[in-house]
Amino acid sequence: MGLKSNLVLVRHGQSEWNEKNLFTGWKDPGLTELGYEEAKKAGELIKATEIIFTSMFTSALKRAQLTGEIILKGIGQVGIPVIKDQALNERDYGSLSGLNKDDAREKWGNEQVHIWRRSYDTPPPDGESLKNTAERVLPYFNELVMPMIFNGDNILVAAHGNSLRALIMQLDKISEENIVKLEIPTGAPIHYQFAEDGSVALKQNLYE
């Protein structure tokens, strides 16, 4: 069975709110200086694969878009189509958005905040659970991206910790119980190769 196409997933570089330990979600801070460096490093790691990409998908949030732009510049492929959609946005943290994580623990208690952060299907007030996030990410991915992969295209996705968790849960067949434990570092590319039938033939974390 021949290898047919490639998918590279990358979480955005460190954002200004990551640095301040704030719940970010759909809020739209930019990258820190470290975040720019992480995106450049991701570009170097991806360039070493020599993959020629057909398209890049990213969210409606600038930290992911900037990361993708820096990567495309680094690999010399700035001319490819870039598709931006809020379906790939980070999980919406609702009432927690903009709060310091330590302050949130003081307000609601450590156990409750841990449940909101690390359960699969319990959303914070006015926000989304990982389950809710997967329910918008996966149909978008399956309807738009997977047909391109079946067609032999090479796709880059620059997105967020939780939108990527949803994708990895499907691609790696990880349980709901275990996917919430998966940590995805900022600016860390993950490379999948697909067989002709659309199954995952190879996975490697380029940052290890």
Task: Tell me whether residue 24 is annotated as binding.
Answer: yes
Task: Tell me whether residue 12 is annotated as binding.
Answer: yes
Task: Tell me whether residue 165 is annotated as binding.
Answer: no
How many CB atoms sit inside 10 A of residue 159's CB? Answer: 29
User: So which residues are the catalytic ones?
Assistant: 12, 90
**Buried b vs exposed e over 63-85: b needs ≥16 C-beta within 10 Å?**
bbbbbbbbbbebbebeeeebebe
Instruction: Report how far residue 166's alpha carbon sits from residue 179's, in angstroms, rounded to the nearest whole number.
Output: 8
Task: Tell me whether residue 25 is annotated as binding.
Answer: yes
Task: Tell me whether residue 76 is annotated as binding.
Answer: no
Q: Closest by alpha carbon to 29, among 137, 138, 188, 186?
A: 186
Task: Tell me whether residue 140 is annotated as binding.
Answer: no
Binding residues for substrate are: 11-18, 24-25, 63, 90-93, 101, 117-118, 161-162
